[in-house]
């Protein structure tokens, strides 16, 4: 049963409702009338019994908006993917659902947001990353972050879009020419250099931005990446063209980010690249597609094995690289026929 305390102060008579349940945080709220306090207490008791009461003593009025800001401060800033997650949080803060209290956000609310995201043109992977933020926030709130053991995660049961197997968008010669022409018009042509570099090295966008001058070992034709998506450092062999780009970039001298190869921050690069793609009249070609282009060229123009290419690209398994096998269909046919000739000739002997 809930207990009620009558309090008199400068603002007149106030009624404090206290709801206690063994194994959960006490719920306390103050109202102007006893009736309001009793109605609130009954709702809390029913919610607790149904296993969905999330409101704690210190967070009775916390909205999703407030929780997102606190989550960003307590957790996001310490993540390697902080900049990307801050972008997701910024979009969540702008949505109407952010105004609701944590306890009031429902599966139906999340379903509506999912529909909105699909209409906005977001892909399956992007939508999943957005909802991963909300799911993680609620799971942490149930634990020792906000101490709300009865909090119900509104993303539980939500059906998210399937993730496509992998993008295979590549630019034709005309599109590549237009893109590079626009990129060369940037300051000292730096954007053109970084686009060319991304293709030559097959590196991810974040990996490129983090390259420090001390990580470059031209005597070994190699760049050491301390931080990667896979949480493992790796050495990336570089081509002659990549080495030329590095030398040209060094001659330009990065003033904005001393000690780094590139002057771009991750956000600045994303903005500049999107603007260049749009100006070049190119549709559906992300910066990450440059990595796909680079890996495709390794299959088309070299005889490197899957394992050797994975050492360059940073893939931990060869499964992802299987989709590139068709790029060597002609080569496989030649090898097959060469093998047949050798077998036939040895059989004749």
Kindly name the residue from 264, 273, 299, 324 that is annotated as catalytic: 324
Examine the residue annotation and report whether 324 is marked as an active-site residue of this protein: yes
CA–CA separation, 86 vs 157, rounded Å? 25
Residues 51-68: pLDDT tens digits? 654 444 445 578 999 999
CA–CA separation, 183 vs 194, rounded Å? 9
Amino acid 54: pLDDT: 45
Kindly name the residue from 114, 190, 204, 292 that is annotated as catalytic: 204
Residues 218-254: pLDDT tens digits? 999 999 998 787 677 889 999 999 999 999 988 887 6
Higher pLDDT, 147 or 151: 151
Q: Please list the alpha-helical segments (H only) found in 172-265.
A: 173-184, 190-201, 205-209, 240-252
Examine the residue annotation and report whether 112 is marked as an active-site residue of this protein: no
Kindly name the residue from 65, 114, 190, 315 that is annotated as catalytic: 315
Which of these, 203, 247, 254, lies nearest to 229 by C-alpha position? 203
Instruction: Among 125-139, 202-216, 313-327, name the one with the lowest average pLDDT.
Output: 313-327
Burial of 264 (0-12, 13-18, 19+ CB in 10 A): buried
Write down the mean pLDDT value for the chain. 85
Sign of the torsion angle spanned by Cα atoms 49, 114, 161, 310: negative
Kindly name the residue from 114, 150, 291, 292 that is annotated as catalytic: 291
Examine the residue annotation and report whether 292 is marked as an active-site residue of this protein: no
pLDDT above 70: percentage of residues in the chain:
87
CB hemisphere CA count around 292 (13 angstroms): 15
At which residue do the structure tokens 């307590």 appear? 74
Kindly name the residue from 101, 167, 229, 328 that is annotated as catalytic: 229
Cβ of 19: how many Cβ atoms within 10 Å? 23
Examine the residue annotation and report whether 226 is marked as an active-site residue of this protein: no
Instruction: Among 67-76, 159-168, 237-246, 340-349, name the one with the lowest average pLDDT.
Output: 340-349
Q: Where are the domains of the chain?
A: 3-49, 64-142, 173-323
Examine the residue annotation and report whether 204 is marked as an active-site residue of this protein: yes
CA–CA separation, 22 vs 44, rounded Å? 14
Kindly name the residue from 6, 274, 288, 316 that is annotated as catalytic: 288
Using pLDDT thresholds of 50, 70 and 90, give the confidence band for residue 90. very high
Residue 42 φ then ψ, to 5°: -60, -40
CATH no. of 173-323: 1.10.443.10
Would the pLDDT of 3 be above 90?
A: no
170 touches 289 (CB < 8 A): yes
Which of these, 126, 157, 139, lies nearest to 71 by C-alpha position? 139
Examine the residue annotation and report whether 59 is marked as an active-site residue of this protein: no
Read off the pLDDT of each residue in 319-340 and give the average, rounded to a whole number. Answer: 71
CA–CA separation, 196 vs 180, rounded Å? 9
Amino acid 56: pLDDT: 47
170 touches 293 (CB < 8 A): yes
């Amino acid at each position: 049963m809930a207990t009620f305390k009558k309090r008199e102060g400068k603002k007149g008579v106030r009624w404090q409702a206290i709801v206690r349940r063994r194994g959960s945080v006490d719920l306390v709220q103050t109202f102007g009338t006893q009736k309001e306090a009793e109605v609130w207490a009954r709702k809390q008791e029913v919610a607790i019994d149904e296993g969905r009461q999330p409101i704690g003593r210190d967070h009775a009025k916390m909205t999703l908006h407030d929780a997102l800001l606190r989550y960003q401060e307590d957790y996001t800033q310490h993540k390697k993917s902080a900049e990307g997650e801050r972008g997701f949080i910024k979009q969540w803060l702008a949505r109407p659902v952010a105004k609701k209290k944590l306890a009031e956000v429902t599966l139906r609310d999340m379903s509506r947001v999912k529909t909105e995201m699909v209409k906005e043109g977001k892909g399956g992977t992007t939508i999943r990353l957005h909802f991963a933020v909300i799911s993680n926030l609620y799971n942490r709130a149930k634990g020792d972050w906000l101490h709300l053991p009865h909090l119900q995660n509104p993303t539980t049961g939500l059906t998210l879009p399937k993730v496509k197997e992998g993008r295979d968008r590549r630019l034709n010669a005309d599109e590549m020419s237009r893109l590079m022409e626009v990129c060369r018009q940037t300051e000292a042509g730096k954007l053109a250099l970084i686009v060319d570099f991304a293709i030559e090295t097959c590196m991810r966008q974040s990996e490129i931005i983090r390259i420090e001058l001390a990580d470059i070992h031209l005597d070994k034709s190699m760049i050491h990446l301390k931080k990667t998506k896979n949480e493992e450092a790796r050495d990336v062999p570089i081509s002659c063209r990549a080495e030329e780009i590095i030398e040209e970039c060094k001659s330009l001298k990065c003033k904005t980010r001393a000690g780094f190869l590139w002057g771009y921050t991750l956000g600045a690069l994303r903005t500049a690249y999107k603007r260049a793609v749009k100006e070049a009249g190119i549709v559906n070609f992300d910066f990450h597609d440059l990595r796909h282009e680079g890996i495709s060229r390794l299959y088309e123009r070299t005889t490197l094995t899957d394992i050797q290419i994975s050492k360059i690209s940073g893939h931990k398994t060869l499964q992802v690289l299987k989709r590139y096998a068709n790029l060597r269909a002609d080569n496989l046919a030649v090898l097959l026929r060469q093998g047949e000739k050798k077998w036939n000739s040895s059989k004749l002997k």
